[in-house]
A and B are shown apart, each in its own frame.
Chain A
Amino acid sequence: MTGTVRRLPWGAMARLAGRRALFAVPVVLVVTFGVFAIAAASPFDPVKAYAGTAALGADQETLDRLRENLGVDQSFVVRWWHWLTDALTGDLGHSSVLRQPVTQVIGERLVWSALLCAVAFAVAVTVGTLLGVLAARRPGSMPDRAITSLAYTLEAAPVFWIALLAVWLFALQWDVLPAGGLTDTASEQVTAGQVAGHIVLPAGVLAVSQLPWFTLYVRQGVGDALAEDPVRGARARGLRERTVLLQHALRSGLLPVLTLIGSRVPELITGALLVESVFSWPGIAAATVEAATAVDFPLLAALTVLATAAVLAGNLLADLLYGLFDPRVKLNEM
Chain B
Amino acid sequence: MVMADAAVEKTGTAWRAAGGDRRSTRTLRLRTSAALLTVTVLAVLLVPPLVQLDQQAVDLAAKLRAPDWAHPFGTDDVGRDLLLRCVYGLRVSLLVGVAAALTATVVGTAVGAAAGAFGGWVDRGVMRVVDALSSVPHLLMGIFIVAMFRPGVWPVVASVALTHWLSTARIVRAEVLSLRARPHIDAAVSGGASRWRVTVRHLLPGVLPQAALAAVLMVPHAMWHESALSFLGLGLPTHTASLGNLIQEARGSLLAGQWWPTLFPGLFIIVPTLAVAGLAGAWRERINPRRRSELML
Interface residues, chain A, with chain B CB atoms under 8 Å away: 26-27, 30-31, 34-35, 38-39, 42-44, 136-141, 152-153, 155-158, 160-161, 164-165, 167-168, 172-173, 179, 212-213, 216-217, 220, 223-224, 226-227, 235, 241, 265-267, 269-270, 273-274, 277, 288-289, 291-293, 295, 297, 300, 303-304, 307-308, 311-312, 315
Contact B148 A157 (CB under 8 A): no
Closest Cβ of chain A: how far from B194's Cβ, in Å?
A: 32
Q: In the complex, which residue of chain A has the Cβ closest to the Cβ of B223?
A: A158
Interface residues, chain B, with chain A CB atoms under 8 Å away: 9, 12-14, 16-22, 25, 128-129, 131-133, 135-141, 143-150, 220, 224, 227-228, 231-234, 244, 247, 250-251, 254-255, 257, 259, 262-263, 265-266, 269-270, 273-274, 277, 293-295, 297
Contact B293 A224 (CB under 8 A): yes
Contact A311 B136 (CB under 8 A): yes
Secondary structure of the B contact surface, majority rule = helix
* CA distance in complex: A140, B292 (Å): 14
Contact A217 B295 (CB under 8 A): yes
Q: Which residues does chain A contribute within 8 Å of B147, judged by CB atoms?
A: 291-293, 295, 300
Besides A308-B135, A311-B135, 15 other A-B contacts (C-beta < 8 A): A26-B128, A30-B128, A31-B136, A44-B148, A138-B12, A140-B22, A158-B224, A161-B247, A164-B262, A165-B263, A212-B297, A269-B139, A273-B137, A292-B146, A293-B234
Closest Cβ of chain B: how far from A40's Cβ, in Å?
A: 9
* CA distance in complex: A226, B44 (Å): 44
> When the two chains form the complex, which single residue of A39, A213, A226, A273 contacts B148, counting CB atoms closer than 8 Å?
A39
Count A-B contacts at CB 8 Å: 170
Q: In the complex, which residue of chain A has the Cβ closest to the Cβ of B272?
A: A156
Contact A26 B132 (CB under 8 A): yes
Contact B228 A304 (CB under 8 A): no
Contact B138 A270 (CB under 8 A): yes
* CA distance in complex: A139, B255 (Å): 41
- Contacts A141-B9, A161-B262; is A304 near B224 (CB within 8 Å)? no
* CA distance in complex: A304, B269 (Å): 27
* CA distance in complex: A274, B244 (Å): 12
> When the two chains form the complex, which single residue of A161, A173, A292, A307 contacts B234, counting CB atoms closer than 8 Å?
A292
